Amino acid sequence: MGITGANAIAADTGAVLLVENEGNIRMTSVLPPVHIVYDGIEKIVPTLYHAMTETLVQAAYAGLYPPTYVNLTAGPSSTADVELYRVSPAQGPKEFHMVLVDNGRRRAAKDPVLWEILLCIRCGRCSMHCPTYWAIGPRFGKPPYTGPMGIPWTAVTRGIMEAGPAAMLCTHSGNCKEVCPMGIDLPKLILYVKNEYLKQIMRK
């Protein structure tokens, strides 16, 4: 069984886009008899065109363009060479399953401030331009979500008290907002987490 995430999921076809340079995702998604995709619901975009665009922007902003591999998976392996209609499975995975995780995301979609982080495509560019991240690396945040985008993401998935200590380390240089391809106002989101965290610890 091969388990991968997804860079984007197209709602119109159920197709999954995965971008990489190493080849490990391609092997994981094609060699085993079962492929399982496990990712958050915010990865769903309306069409295959949107999914491909998001994937290429993510690859470009992560520092390598063009990426070595873009994988599109729209179900178990299939063929139509002889039959002239789709027959499945073929030589690749016989089964394809998708597990979609909420984990605070739908609640965040209704939050007047935190909703904005659901636009994040996880390109990582904000970390590359963050002075705090340069100084202390992934300790700026709480794995798996680190760097500027990690603070609101931790607030969404684990709550304000978990995200607060990292938010207090933010210097508010504003570089993250300048470089974000999605135009996310990260300093505003981090300030919000900071304020909510301070309010909660003052109450104790």
Beta strands 95-101 and 34-40, pairing class: parallel
Q: Is 121 a residue that touches ligand SF4 (CB under 6 A)?
A: yes
| Choices 79-87, 115-123, 137-145, 163-171 (CB under 6 A): range interacting with ligand SF4 | 115-123
Are 121 and 58 in contact, with CB atoms under 8 Å apart?
Answer: yes
Provide, rounded to whole angstroms, the least separation between the CB of residue 74 and ligand SF4: 25
Beta strands 8-10 and 16-20, pairing class: antiparallel
Residues 175, 185: Cα–Cα separation, whole Å? 10
Binding mask 36-75 for ligand SF4 (x = CB under 6 A): -------------------------x--------------
The phi, psi pair for 158, rounded to 5°, reads -130, -5
Structure tokens at 28: 């994981």
| Choices 44-52, 105-113, 155-163, 176-184 (CB under 6 A): range interacting with ligand SF4 | 176-184
Beta strands 8-10 and 95-101, pairing class: unpaired
| Choices 26-34, 91-99, 107-115, 174-182 (CB under 6 A): range interacting with ligand SF4 | 174-182
- Residues 35, 43, 105, 125: which binds ligand SF4 (CB under 6 A)? 125
SS3 95: strand
HSE at residue 178, side-chain half, CA atoms within 13 A, is 7
Pick between residue 9 and residue 180 the one whose CB is nearest to ligand SF4. 180
Provide, rounded to whole angstroms, the least separation between the CB of residue 186 and ligand SF4: 6
Residues 164, 60: Cα–Cα separation, whole Å? 30
| Choices 38-46, 88-96, 98-106, 178-186 (CB under 6 A): range interacting with ligand SF4 | 178-186
Q: Is 123 a residue that touches ligand SF4 (CB under 6 A)?
A: yes
- Residues 184, 190, 192, 194: which binds ligand SF4 (CB under 6 A)? 184
Are 151 and 190 in contact, with CB atoms under 8 Å apart?
Answer: yes
Interacting residue ranges for ligand SF4, rule: CB under 6 A: 61, 120-126, 149, 179-182, 184, 186
